[in-house]
Amino acid sequence: MSNLSQPSKTPWAHLIPILMGLAAFGAVVGLGILNPRNVSWLLADFDMTLEYLGWAFYRYGPWTLPIGLNPHFGLDISSSIIYSNSMPLFAMVFKPFSSLLGEPFQFWGIWILLCFVLQAWMAWLVIGLITRDLWIKTFATGLLLFSPPMFSQIGFHNSTIGHFPILAAIYLILRANQNKRVLWWSILLPCTLMIHPYTFAMLVALWLADLMDKLFVQKKLSIWQIIVEMVCVFSTTLFMAWQAGYFMNVSPGETGFGMYRMNLLALFDPSGFDAANWSFLYSLPSVRNNNNYEGFVYLGLGLITVLLISLPMMVSHRAKLVKLLRCHIFIFLCLICLTLFALSNNIGIGPWTFSIPLTPKLFSFASILRASARMFWPVFYVIAFAGIYFLIRGYSKKIAASILGIALVIQMIDTSGAWLEIKNKINHPGAQPASSLSDPFWADAAKHYKNIVRVPVWNEQAIWEKFANYAAQNQLGTNSVFMGRVDQQKIERSNQKIQALLAQGKFDPDTLYIVEDNFVPQFSKTMNPKTDLLARFNEINVFAPGWLSCPNCIKINESAQIHSAISNDRLTRLGERIDLSRFGKYSKVYLGGGWAVPENWGVWSLDKKASITLPLPSQPPKKLIIDAQAFIGGAQTSQDVEIWINGALQAKTTLLKRFGNEIEVPLPASALNAEKLKIDFLFPTAISPKALGIGIDGRPLAIGLEVVRYE
C-alpha cells in the first residue's frame, strides 16, 4: 500500500478513475451494447424503445429551426427530440453524420460507457478535495461509482444514467478555487439540460443555492459577479433549450405527483424495480410494498457501513460539521427542499403513508416533475460524500483506506445480484415489437406509402412501438408514438382532420391507415371498393388507398379483406394469433381481472382466479387453443388449471412443463350464441415464489398466457 499512498501528482494517477470506469462498465454492463448495430436490447423495453425510436426518426428527419424538432415522429402531433427522451446532446451531434453511420445505429452504448467513466472521474475529483492519498481516493471513488440508483437506470431510463453532472456540481460548489466558475456552470447546466430535464432541475437548484452562499455567507462573489454569471448561464441555457425544442406547446404534466415518490426509509431499502432485490443480506418487504421504483435510492451495504463507522466521527467533529453547514447554509436548505419534494405530499414511512392535500393548481405544477423521487439523487451523493469525509477526517490513513477498501468489496458483492441481472437482461433481450408484422403485405406497403397513420389519434396508442419501429426501419413518418409531453390540441385537430377525410371520402394516397376496430365501418362506407383495400393482417386492420389499382402491389387474398357485411365485432379470423404480450394489440382490452402487467412474452396470472373476454371470430370456431407458460419451480412440479366459458366448465388440465404448454378448449354450439366469450381461469395450485423459497415475490402465480387462437 505504501507505494500507492503518494501525492496525486503521480503522472499516471489521472488514469486510475478512467480505468475504474472502464472496468466497472465491463463488469456491470458488458461490451455487447457498444456495437452501434445492436439495437435489440433497446427495442425490448418500453422506455428504451422510446429513447431509441425518437433518435431513429430524428436522424433521417429534415433540418428545422430549432434543430431539435422531430416532425416525422408524430406527424400532426409531433414535437421535439427532448419529449421522446432521446438525449439531444448526442442526437444533435450524430445527426449531421447520419448518412455515414449505417443502419441501424445507436449511440446509447457509447453514452452508458461515458457515464461510467465520467462518474469515476468526477468522483475522483470530489474525493480529491479532501485527500491526496491514492488508495483512499481509489476506494472512495469506487464507492461513488458503484451507485445503486445510477445502476438501476441501466436498461430502464438510459438518459438518466448520467449521474456524473451531479458530482460535477458538487465539485464546483466545494472546490476552493472558484476561477472560471462562470465558464464551467455555463457549460454544465446547458449540457445537462440536453441530457435530461430532471437532472437539469436538480443542478439549477444547487447552482442557485451556491450563488446565495457565495454572496451572503462566504462573501466570495459580489452582486455584479452574480449578475454576470446568471446572465451568462441563463442565456446559454435558454438558447440550448430553444434549439432542443423545449418550448413546444405541450402539456406540462397534470398528474403523477405523489405516485412516483420516495419512502423515508428508501436509503436502506434494497427493493428495486419489479421483484429485483439489491442486497444479498436482507430485504424490507414492508417498505417495498409502500415504495415506488422511482424512489429507489438504496445506499448499498458498503456505503451503509461507511456511514455507521463515520457517525462517531461526526459527533466528535460536530464543530466541523456545524461550520460546514453554516458555510453552505443555502445548499443545506436546498437539499432539505429536494428531499421534501422527493417525498411528495404522500409521505411514506416504511409501510405507512400520510397524505397532505394539495390544491389542484399546486398539484398540477408539482406534476411537471412527477417522478419527484429522482430529486433526491443529489442528497444521496452528499450523504455518501459526508460519510467518506468524516471517515477520512476521523481515522488514520491506513485505517480509513482499509475501511473504504472493505466497504467497496461489500458494496460490489452486495449489489452484484441485481446488476448482474440487468447485465443479463440487456445482453439477452426478449421479444421485439415488430416480430408479429410477418405478412408479406407489410414489406410491400413500405415501398408504396410515405406515412403510417393510426386512426383515431392519441398519445401512447396500443402497440405504438410496433408501428413506430416499422416506420423507422423504412424511413416513413408516423403518428404511432408515445411522448412524455404532448399537445392535446394537436391530437384533437388531427382527429378532426381524419373525420373530415372520412366524411369526404378523400384520403391521402401516400398514407397507409391503421384502423381501430370501431372505425372499420366508417372506412368501409366511404372507401372506393374498386381501388382501395380494407384488410386485416396480423390482427391489424389496414386501409390502403389505391392498393387494388396499383399494378406493382402484391395481390391480396379475398380471405384477408374486410367486407361491409361483416360486423366490426367479428373481425378476428380463424387461426389468427391473439397476442397477449405487451406487443399484442388487444392485451389491455381483452384481459380482465387477475393478471399482471403484460410483459414482452405474455402476461402472468396473479391470483387464484383470472378472466379474459374475447370476441367471436367471423367464422364459427370449434375450439380455442391457448399457448401458456406454467409457474413451476422448487417443490412446485405442476399447475392445475380449470377453464370456464360463459359460466360452464369446459376444460381441466394439469401443466407439467415450464414452457411450451398448449391447452385445447372445445367450444360447443351453446358457447357461440353470444358475440363474446367470457373465459374464467381457476388456479387451485397457484403459489408465490416467496412461499417456495425461490424469490421475494409474494404474488400467487400459476400460468403465463402468451397467445390464444380460434380453430
Question: Domain with 677 in it: what CATH number?
Answer: 2.60.120.260
Indicate whether 518 and 599 sit together in one domain.
Answer: no
Indicate whether 541 and 675 sit together in one domain.
Answer: no
Element housing 211 (H / E): helix 197-212
Classify residue 215 by its DSSP letter: I
CB 83 within 8 A of CB 73: no
Distance of CA 1 to the CA centre of its chain: 42
Q: Low-confidence residues of the chain, pLDDT below 50?
A: 1-7
Indicate whether 590 and 546 sit together in one domain.
Answer: no
- The 10s digit of each residue's pLDDT in 261-293 is 999 999 999 988 755 689 988 888 777 667 677
Indicate whether 423 and 444 sit together in one domain.
Answer: no
Indicate whether 309 and 387 sit together in one domain.
Answer: yes
CA distances from 672 to 565, 569, 577 (A): 19, 14, 19
- Lookup: cell for 139: 476506494
pLDDT at 1: 39
Measured distance CA(630)–CA(698) in Å, rounded: 17
CA distances from 622 to 606, 647, 672, 675, 710 (A): 29, 18, 10, 15, 8
- Lookup: cell for 558: 379475398
Indicate whether 256 and 338 sit together in one domain.
Answer: yes
- The 10s digit of each residue's pLDDT in 96-153 is 999 999 999 999 999 999 999 999 999 999 999 999 999 999 999 999 999 999 999 9
Q: Is residue 54 part of a domain?
A: no
Neighbour count for residue 701 (Cβ, 10 Å):
25
Which residue is it, cell 384488410? 535
pLDDT at 676: 86
pLDDT at 567: 57
Q: Is residue 246 part of a domain?
A: yes
Measured distance CA(308)–CA(299) in Å, rounded: 12
Element housing 54 (H / E): helix 46-60
Distance of CA 664 to the CA centre of its chain: 37
554-579 burial by CB neighbour count: b if 16+ within 10 A, else e?
eebeeeeebeeeeebeebbeeebbbb
pLDDT at 697: 72
Where a domain ends, among 427, 459, 477?
427
pLDDT at 282: 86
Q: Residues near 663 by Cβ (< 8 Å), separated by ≥ 6? A: 625, 626, 628, 641, 643, 651, 653, 655
Indicate whether 531 and 552 sit together in one domain.
Answer: yes
pLDDT at 81: 95
CA distances from 434 to 438, 467, 538 (A): 8, 7, 11
User: How many domains does the structure of the chain reveal?
Assistant: 3
Domain that holds residue 595: 578-710
pLDDT at 124: 97
Closest to 542 (Cα-Cα) out of 431, 614, 467, 465: 467
pLDDT at 492: 94
CB 57 within 8 A of CB 80: no
Q: Is residue 92 part of a domain?
A: no
Distance of CA 212 to the CA centre of its chain: 35
pLDDT at 45: 82
Indicate whether 690 and 634 sit together in one domain.
Answer: yes
- Lookup: cell for 572: 378476428
Closest to 278 (Cα-Cα) out of 263, 299, 294, 261: 299
User: Which one-letter amino acid corresponds to residue 664?
Assistant: E
Neighbour count for residue 528 (Cβ, 10 Å):
12
Measured distance CA(185)–CA(232) in Å, rounded: 9
CA distances from 694 to 7, 265, 698 (A): 49, 25, 11
Name the burial class of residue 356, with classes exposed (0-12), middle (13-18) and buried (19+) by CB atoms within 10 angstroms of its CB.
exposed
